[in-house]
Amino acid sequence: EAGVVQSPRYKIIEKKQPVAFWCNPISGHNTLYWYLQNLGQGPELLIRYENEEAVDDSQLPKDRFSAERLKGVDSTLKIQPAELGDSAVYLCASSLNGGASNNEQFFGPGTRLTVL
Amino acid sequence: AQSVTQLDSHVSVSEGTPVLLRCNYSSSYSPSLFWYVQHPNKGLQLLLKYTSAATLVKGINGFEAEFKKSETSFHLTKPSAHMSDAAEYFCVVSPFGNEKLTFGTGTRLTIIP
């Protein structure tokens, strides 16, 4: 069974440029998460989707970040414009059914963003 | 509110010796607790989880952790370290029945040959 797929794995951009990250969750997983992981820190949740609905986006900086999951399967996270402080690893995770106490989140390898 | 504190940012042990990675938690609710491992350039992988059943939890690759409510701790142990255990380990808490995870800052485990 394929795991969570993310692309690109690495991205280097100039500040003020836009950037987008793509995630394809495990087949059949209804819940999708985007996390931000700064260097030397643990991941922090940015947004959670149940199917195509964003049910928790309280930590998403909405002035420059946006996300979509139009068909309830794959998802795109966008930053426009990027700032130097956005350099980090962006992780995508999926789970079968968010909310269950024994639900496991499966993580992708992440996209490492460097903003110059 | 919930949080975890990983007491060591870096632990080094010799191959074949025991591993102890320390974690203390704070939670307003009965928590679920997890340990995840992150190898370089790979995704986070669940090692084990506690969800109010047995307080001693066994995970993959010989790891186990014990939930101690009186000490608000959930330390990760392994009797004998292997070179392949070198990685970053994260202690994670969530309110019971809620999938929102709060990660610690991580402990980097180095195995000395």
The candidate with the shortest Cα–Cα distance to A44, out of A59, A63, A24, is A59
**How is chain A split among helix, strand and coil, in percent rounded to 5?**
5, 45, 50
The alpha carbon of residue A27 is apart from the nearest alpha carbon of chain B, in Å, by 17
The candidate with the shortest Cα–Cα distance to B75, out of B21, B32, B34, is B21
| Distances, alpha carbon A82 to alpha carbons A11, A76, B36, in Å | 12, 15, 30
pLDDT tens-digit series, residues B26-65 = 987 778 899 999 998 788 999 999 987 788 999 999 999 9
Q: Evaluate whether A15 touches A82 at the Cβ level (below 8 Å).
A: yes
Q: Which residue has the tokens 């632990």?
A: B11
pLDDT tens-digit series, residues B9-37 = 999 999 999 999 999 999 877 788 999 99
Q: Name the residue in chain B with its Cα closest to that of A40.
A: B105
**Is B105 in contact with A42 (Cβ distance < 8 A)?**
yes
pLDDT tens-digit series, residues A14-25 = 999 999 999 999
Q: What percent of chain B has pLDDT above 70?
A: 97
**Res B4: pLDDT:** 94
Residues of B in contact with A42 (CB under 8 A): 90, 92, 103-106
pLDDT tens-digit series, residues A49-86 = 999 999 999 999 999 999 999 888 999 999 999 999 99
From the list B42, B99, B104, the residue facing A103 with the nearest CB is B99
State how far Cα B16 lies from the chain centre. Answer: 19
Helix (H) and strand (E) counts in chain A: 0, 11
